[in-house]
Amino acid sequence: MKHDRLFQLLYLLLEHQSMTASDLSRALEVSVRTVYRDVESLSMAGVPIFALPGKGGGISIQPGYTFDKTLLSDEEQHQLLFAIQSLKAVDQKVEPLLQKMGNAFQKAPRNWIEVDFSRWGMAQTDPVRFESLKTAILGQTVGILTYCSTSGEISQRKIHPLKLIYKDKAWYLQAFCLRAMDFRLFKLGRIIEFLTTEERFSEDYEEDIPPVEGPIPPIFTVHLKLRIAQQLAFRVYDEFERSSITPQTDGGFLVELDVPLNTWVLWYLVSFGTDVEILEPADLRLKVWEYAKKIAEHHKP
């Protein structure tokens, strides 16, 4: 990761000749302190890079210096072009940068992949939200978040936005919440409104940001044994580990897995309609039946 950042820093200086440490920290999404450490690393590696203090100063690279593209293998050059191309997924305008990199490597960037992270029906909304959050993160701007929790509670929070994370088919905003005075993950789909303020934060969270981990496993789990019909094969392969799936001779599937023992299990199983049969446990089969009766009664004409 550090080596990728060093190359990015080098390319920024080759393009702009000189930049302030603050501008570089925003472009690289790291602290000013990390920028100076990277400058020192490049200098020790023989790159003619230097920092000038005071007004009008900044971090510069010796005029006329050219990057030796042979430092990267042919495969690494392609990987770098592909990585830049993937930034289109979050609506970043990368064509000029792709062209420059392609010229530097004497390679024509190939349009080999297209990724769209916006949700169905949200092609206009999601890119605007990405841009707003990106600007706030890079500018270290305090934001005001209106958010809907999993319990349905809608709250407003003042946050320091730190990072966008894509995990398990969903985007999350990692931020420092000033209400909880702790780091929090907010699912982008449940952000009702995000507003930036004129206030900036200077805290350096880089060394303190916790790794993104899954939810704490619940104390109580239940072992499910399900028979799922062939017509839902797409859900079986989308939603279950391959090791938990046993194809059946009739085209259906036997699925076994451990899940948290909570209300979510009922909602989830009902979503399969009549294309799932709960083989085990028997008491959960009864609960789903009772839950389905309530749904039927609720929608009774």
User: Domain locations in the chain?
Assistant: 2-105, 125-200, 221-298
pLDDT value of position 161: 93
Instruction: For the chain, list residues with pLDDT below 50.
Output: 1, 70, 216
Token pair recorded at residue 248: 């059946």
Q: What are the C-alpha distances in Å from 70 to residues 13, 73, 232?
A: 19, 7, 51
pLDDT value of position 255: 95
Q: Estimate the share of the chain in helix, then strand, then coil, as percent rounded to the nearest 5.
A: 40, 25, 30
Q: SS3 for 51? A: strand
Do the first three CATH levels of 125-200 and 221-298 match, i.e. the same topology?
no
pLDDT value of position 32: 85
pLDDT value of position 44: 77
Please give the Cα distance from 292 to 270 (Å, whole number). 7
pLDDT value of position 88: 56
Q: Does pTM surpass 0.75?
A: no
pLDDT value of position 236: 92
- Taking domain 2-105, whether its CATH number is 1.10.10.10 is answered by yes
pLDDT value of position 97: 62
- Taking domain 125-200, whether its CATH number is 2.60.40.10 is answered by no
Please name the helix (run of DSSP H) or strand (run of DSSP E) that holds residue 97, with its range, or none.
Answer: helix 95-105
Backbone angles phi, psi at 212, to 5 degrees: -80, 115
List the one residue out of 89, 91, 93, 90 whose CA is nearest residue 115: 89
Q: SS3 for 57? A: coil
CATH number for the region 221-298 comes to 3.30.70.240
pLDDT value of position 213: 64
pLDDT value of position 147: 92
